[in-house]
Structure 1
Amino acid sequence: MRRLMAGFAAIAAVALSAGAAKASVTVIGGGLAEACSKAAMAGGSAQRSEAICTQALDTEMLSPRDKAGTFVNRGIMKLRRGEMPAALADFDQAARYEPKLGEIYVNRGAALIGAHRFADGLADLNRGIGLGIEEPAKAYYNRALAYEGLDDVKSAYFDYQKAVELSPGWDAPKQELTRFHVARRD
């Protein structure tokens, strides 16, 4: 297996331009926390959407899971704007409330990949996958990015394949696979 597209900079560009996939957390029951959840799921990253999440955290009586989910959703908005340290802080807060919520670690992994901390990102992604998540294809896609950052092309290839298998209609992992060439060794 050989990488067709050379260069570490290309991996970083993929991680930041196409973006590591983010896994939001559904919060229901009305109120600001649900509005925050909907904004995160819709791809929101505006400061006003983040402010809704902050207001929910500051004023609403939330269960530990919903509080964690709201921190995750706010962290995703920060992640989308490239604010890695702030996003990581929100994911750390989420883990204090619901340490077994896999989406926390998938998103921490995405933020760490964005910060070029691939080994740390890989550890969080593995933890998130192990805990179980609603959208595992995103975790495998992110893990493939981490493997590429660590120059483990074979593992990256298999994780892109797994992402396609889990979400056949998602184009991002299919695009990544076009960069690979598989050949038999004699």
Structure 2
Amino acid sequence: MPNLRQVFCSVALLMLFPNTSMAQLSVTTIGATEASACYQDASSSLTHDTGNCDTALRGGDLMRGDQKKTLVNRGVILNRAGAFEDARADFDAAIAIDDNLAEAYLNRGNSFYLAQQFDAALADYDRALALAITKPWAAWYNIGLVYEAIKKPDMARKAFQNALNANPEFTQAQQKLEKLR
């Protein structure tokens, strides 16, 4: 069972579009036992239903720390379902609770990326890095995807290399680098 203090518990590859260049990395967080089903849903790339998250948030008994984590998890699911504005609202609410929550910035960046708002996505990914996100390769990988989408292959290569430098075992970054060579 993950430690409740561990904010960044997993990286899940979201496949929202059939084009692999549209996949970005997301992060989920674990909350109290009432929110654990929401965490599990956010960790599964197959789940598009926010029911468990909605129930946990409606319960009103979540501590603020668990509330912000549950908001991030619901936002991840909403991104996966294509509800980018609703997802951003959840990430904004989590940031309002804790403006140093790097995972909220990374995932809000994904909302912007998926909505093709690339400047806003880059700003949020940069903020996640500035806040020392636990797994920086996720942010660097997503930055590479943005640069790839806006046809800046040199910058994309640098970002994917940064992702690989942060995690030499990160095969998705290696694959992107090979593709861009």
Provide Cα deviations, 1:33-69, integer angstroms capped at 9, x if missing partner.
122113222335231xx11111111104222221111
**Which has the bigger relative contact order, CA under 8 A and spacing at least 6?**
1
Partner of 2:5: none
1:153 pairs with 2:159: no
> Does the aligned pair in 1 maintain the 2:48–2:80 contact within 8 Å?
no
Partner of 1:131: 131
Partner of 1:184: none
Q: Unmatched 5+ residue regions in structure 2? A: 1-17
> Does the aligned pair in 2 maintain the 1:122–1:147 contact within 8 Å?
no
SS at structure 1 position matched to 2:26: coil
Partner of 2:19: 13
* Residue identity opposite 1:39 in structure 2: D
| Deviation of the 1:24 alpha carbon | 0.8
TM-score by length of 2: 0.82
Q: Which has the higher helix share?
A: 1
For 2:21 and 2:86, locate their aligned partners in 1 and report how far apart those are by CA, in whole Å: 18
**Which of structure 1's runs of 4+ aligned residues deviate more than 4 A?**
none
* Residue identity opposite 1:155 in structure 2: M
* Residue identity opposite 1:26 in structure 2: I
2:27 counterpart (15, 23, 28)? 23
Larger radius of gyration: 1
> Does the aligned pair in 1 maintain the 2:144–2:155 contact within 8 Å?
yes
For 1:177 and 1:156, locate their aligned partners in 2 and report how far apart those are by CA, in whole Å: 8
| Deviation of the 1:170 alpha carbon | 2.8
Identical pairs, percent = 30
For 1:130 and 1:63, locate their aligned partners in 2 and report how far apart those are by CA, in whole Å: 26
For 1:173 and 1:89, locate their aligned partners in 2 and report how far apart those are by CA, in whole Å: 29
- Please provide the CA RMSD for this pair: 1.8
Q: Unmatched 5+ residue regions in structure 1? A: 1-11, 182-186
For 1:15 and 1:120, locate their aligned partners in 2 and report how far apart those are by CA, in whole Å: 18
